[in-house]
Structure 1
């Protein structure tokens, strides 16, 4: 829907508001990486009529300590799901708790997601706890809805940004002058989206297949029969 080039000698924080200024946010729920769990961002989103679900990490030590030290064992489970794919089993559990006062703009609830993963190939078992806050009042969204939004954010990370980083090696690109980085990012997104819509799940394999015959890329774009 929109993208913005991040200027040299800065980071994504400064591009947050200018990027979203171009989009109607009324009635939306915005998710972002923990880097964007900034008081100014929370205030901005609420002023634009949007709610947020923001991940809390150690870059906000006071907020992080308060949320993670809640008595989560005593809090009722709101949602859990279980999936088995790609040679692994994953179980996710979501808990939510209402807050009257939390040091973040309009924060109304704290959330904890616990993920258990077992890799059947290696036998390795991992546990991950993630803490979040949201401006959504209690009862506004169900446990399954909150879980879907959180998973949707991670899905974007895994299916887009991870592919750009690992398959296209975007961080190693020597193209860094003017608008060219933004143009190349758009082209990478286009390539990923075209292959996804074509039913490809392994983008690296799809790129190798397409590169072996110049006509295949035209076919994928619908330009040839």
Structure 2
């Protein structure tokens, strides 16, 4: 089985999983680990959402799969798939995708001179709770390359409150060099800022109550100067109007140089500017507004600041919305924690591969096309027949 990465550069997808430790018992082991993983990847892209549907998809495409896989054990049952997903260690599983992901990032960066925007944010898998074991819904912290449309990694936590301690770990696993990392208020931490700067990137961090004094100062400082139209300080402004899904939005951004008396400013590595983003929306006559304040290592460049903020909002609209509406992640009733984590990663990786396809169709339509047409699915995954 082959994956085409360039005009002449063809490598086996199975090579990406060559170092993955097989967690299964060696007794009665019929199926190759690589075969099972590739089946999971393709089935999820084609519309499967759990072990049972992955098994049914494999049984429905036996003839086609035999063209690419060794297939020594025949069609794997959904129990086989379920046991595998429930025993694979998520961090090692994701690491095997890193070279694949890096190849996609290289292709995306070759076409784009601007810095990549890496958004880090959390999402709760709402029906993943297990009342019998006293477990609440699983919360996943994801890293998303906004412009490339690439999922870079994820980390599962038991509660949303644990997102604060979870954020540094995904940062250690991804390359942030020459990128702008955006994180919501949970990630507004001095250690996070230092880690991003040490990795050769820049940061745009949202402020809220967890940074009480800093948040209050930035808010009051900007509001005070906004009242006299920034007559006493230099402020850069950028405004844009967006339309889509029946909604119209006006976004206004202000970026200011660092105030001299900003509390604790020396403790934030690389800190250079502060900013505010004001979003005013209208849909069906209903008006809403949202105001968020930020600290950043970016130099004064309000359009770049605006792109970073908008990119983070885009993660919510592109990745999280797609996971909910197209991949029905919140409807998943898989209770095993490892299986939930691994399935969530497969869905994020599926979105990554689907988004690389040059098409005007929506993600939902491209996923349907992959389910209807195995030749299109092969194109999405990058298969090339031997």
Q: Within 2, Cα distance between the matches of 1:204 and 1:154?
A: 20
Q: Is residue 277 of structure 2 the alignment partner of residue 113 of structure 1?
A: yes
- Which of 296, 308, 317 is residue 134 of structure 1 equivalent to? 296
Q: What is residue 359 of structure 2 aligned with on the other side?
A: 199
Which range moves more in the overlay, 153-162 or 37-46?
Answer: 37-46
- The residue number in structure 2 matching 1:64 is 215
Whole-Å Cα distance in 1 between the matches of residues 175 and 369 of structure 2?
39
Counterpart-to-counterpart distance in 2, 1:192 and 1:4: 14
Q: Could you say if the C-alpha distance between residues 64 and 82 of structure 1 is closer, same or farther in structure 2, counting changes exceeding 3 Å?
A: same
Aligned partners of 1:159 and 1:94: how far apart in 2? 21
- Does residue 48 (structure 1) correspond to residue 207 (structure 2)? The answer is no
1:36 aligns with: 187
Contact conserved, 2:185 with 2:208, CA < 8 A, in 1?
yes
CA distance in 1, matches of 2:254, 2:368: 43
Identify unmatched segments of 5+ residues in structure 2: 1-100, 102-151
CA distance in 1, matches of 2:300, 2:335: 42
Contact 1:102 1:108 in 2 (8 A): no
In the alignment, does 2:292 pair up with 1:153? no
Once the two structures are superposed, residues 152-209 of structure 1 have per-residue CA deviations (whole angstroms, 9 ceiling, x without a partner) of: 1111221002322344343453435464333212221233234433536644455556
Go from structure 1 to structure 2 and tell me whether the alpha carbon gap of 1:194 and 1:132 turns closer, same or farther (over 3 Å shift). Answer: same
The structure-2 alpha-carbon separation of the partners of 1:135 and 1:223, relative to structure 1 and needing over 3 Å to count, comes to closer
Change (3 A) 1:217 1:102: same
2:245 is the counterpart of 1:81: no
Q: Once the two structures are superposed, what CA deviation does each residue of 1:13-42 show, in whole Å capped at 9, x if it has no partner? A: 333222222333344321112211123222
CA deviation after TM superposition for structure 1 residue 222, in Å: 5.6
Normalising by structure 1, report the TM-score: 0.79
Query: Which is bigger in relative contact order (C-alpha 8 A, separation at least 6)?
Result: 2
Q: Which runs of 5+ in 1 are unaligned?
A: none
SS of 2:209's equivalent in the other structure is coil
| TM-fit CA distance, 1:148 | 0.9
What RMSD over aligned residues (CA atoms) do the two structures have, in Å? 3.0
Residues 1:25 and 2:184 are matched in the alignment: no
Q: Is 1:168 paired with 2:330? A: no
User: Separation in 1 of the partners of 2:361 and 2:278?
Assistant: 26
- The answer (yes or no) to whether the contact 2:277–2:309 under 8 Å persists in 1 is no
Instruction: Measure the CA separation in 2 of the matches of 1:210 and 1:129.
Output: 40
Q: 1:95 aligns with which of 254, 273, 278?
A: 254
What is the count of residue pairs matched by the alignment? 219
Is 1:180 aligned to 2:339, yes or no? yes
- Counterpart-to-counterpart distance in 2, 1:57 and 1:127: 16
Aligned residues of 2:255 and 2:300 also touching (Cα < 8 A) = no
Change (3 A) 1:42 1:114: same
Report if the CA contact (8 A) 2:213-2:263 is conserved: no
Query: What TM-score do the two structures reach when normalised by structure 2?
Result: 0.49
